[in-house]
């Protein structure tokens, strides 16, 4: 339990660092030096030192959005098997609890955006509510895939030591479809290119960033930290899928896990550098590709089981 708590604390602390890797990769492809890897820590410290400004049209819902968004992200990480180790909390069916907990955090961020009565933030909130709905179809298809293989609806049953490599032994190539599908979900759920561009300043093309335009100071810092933790959650799962190996040593396994995480974040940076942002009407088609991949993987696996 102590080891799991330490890993959870480390995950919260290093999540902003790994997001800085994406900025470095994008700067490299742009022929620039880019910001320092610790830029997100500097930004968070600066935000927490400032004060928050609230519009007279907002209510307590606007203040609850950042707090619950970060709180749900922190709790979700407690169920995550980091580096293949047992999580802090785990119970049968916890994967459904995790998904709805993440949905709760999204709901309060959307509600906070709507509370401002800003048409721009309302537009971003509508997009934030629409695209994850498509992702949910893919997520539940992946859950069906894992459930058919393990008979479990428990996150630790998929990604702890020995379990992930067993998934590869049972399925082989179809699991590659799941990895690609989950990477698409990662990009969509975290508002990354080609679904969204976190670096843009055009409200008409923004999703996540337009929802938090009115947040400032510590409130905006809480939202940013929650976003870093959310990206870390999805990246950890993808990393574990592509590096399922167990070396019999916690230290070696931890360094392999870090290497896998860096590869996933670099892949996100490369994707944002070489792929243009899609038009809004093309985004559903991109997200539905993940559902098709997960569906084919499930069908093929069912044939293997028979």
- 123 phi/psi in degrees, rounded to 5: -65, -45
Q: How far apart are CA 174 and CA 168, in angstroms?
A: 9
What pLDDT score does 201 carry? 62
In the chain, the N- to C-terminal Cα span, in Å, equals 39
pTM above 0.85, yes or no: yes
pLDDT at 189: 94
Rg, Å, the chain Cα set:
19
Residue 306, pLDDT above cutoff 60: no
The pLDDT score that the predictor gives to residue 196 is 87
CA–CA distance, 124 with 278 (Å, rounded to integer): 16
Q: Tell me the C-alpha distance between 45 and 88, whole Å.
A: 28
Q: What is the reported pLDDT for 159? A: 93
> What's the token pair of residue 53?
């400004």
The Cα 143–Cα 145 span in angstroms is 5
Structure confidence by residue, pLDDT tens digits, 141-192: 999 999 988 899 999 999 987 888 888 988 888 899 999 999 999 999 998 9
**Cβ-proximal residues to 305 (8 Å cutoff; 6+ apart), any chain:** 148, 149
Q: Residue range 106-115: average pLDDT? A: 94
- Contacts of 247-256 with C-beta under 8 Å, sequence gap 24+, read 250/3, 250/83, 250/85, 253/83, 253/84, 253/161, 254/83
Contacts 24+ apart (CB under 8 A), 258-261: 261/18, 261/232, 261/235, 261/236
Rounded distance between C-alpha atoms, residue 115 and residue 214, angstroms: 10
């Amino acid at each position: 339990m102590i080891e799991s708590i330490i890993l959870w604390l480390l995950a919260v602390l290093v999540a902003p660092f790994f997001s800085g890797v994406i900025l470095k990769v994008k700067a490299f492809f742009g022929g620039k030096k880019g910001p320092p890897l610790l830029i997100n820590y500097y930004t968070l410290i600066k935000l927490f030192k400032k004060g928050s400004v609230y519009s007279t049209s907002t209510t307590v819902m606007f203040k609850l959005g950042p707090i619950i968004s970060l709180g749900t992200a922190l709790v979700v990480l407690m169920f995550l098997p980091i580096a293949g180790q047992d999580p802090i909390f785990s119970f049968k069916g916890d994967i459904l609890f995790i998904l709805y907990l993440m949905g709760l955090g999204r709901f309060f961020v959307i509600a906070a955006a709507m509370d401002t009565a800003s048409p721009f933030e309302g537009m971003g909130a509508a997009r934030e509510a629409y695209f994850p709905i498509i992702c949910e179809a893919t997520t539940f298809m992946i859950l069906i895939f894992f459930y058919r293989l393990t008979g479990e609806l428990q996150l630790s049953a998929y990604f702890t030591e020995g379990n992930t490599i067993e998934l590869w032994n049972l399925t082989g190539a179809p699991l590659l479809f799941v990895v690609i599908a989950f990477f698409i979900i990662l990009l969509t759920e975290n508002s990354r290119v080609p679904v969204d561009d976190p670096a843009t300043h055009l409200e008409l093309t923004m999703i996540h960033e337009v929802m938090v335009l009115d947040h400032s100071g510590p409130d905006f810092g809480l939202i940013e930290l929650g976003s870093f933790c959310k990206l870390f959650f999805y990246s950890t799962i993808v990393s574990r899928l592509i590096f399922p190996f167990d070396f019999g040593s916690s230290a070696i396994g931890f360094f392999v896990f870090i290497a896998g995480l860096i590869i996933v974040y670099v892949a996100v940076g490369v994707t944002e550098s070489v792929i243009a942002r899609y038009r809004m009407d093309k985004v559903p088609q991109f997200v539905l590709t993940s559902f098709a991949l997960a569906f084919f993987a499930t069908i093929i696996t069912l044939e293997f089981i028979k």
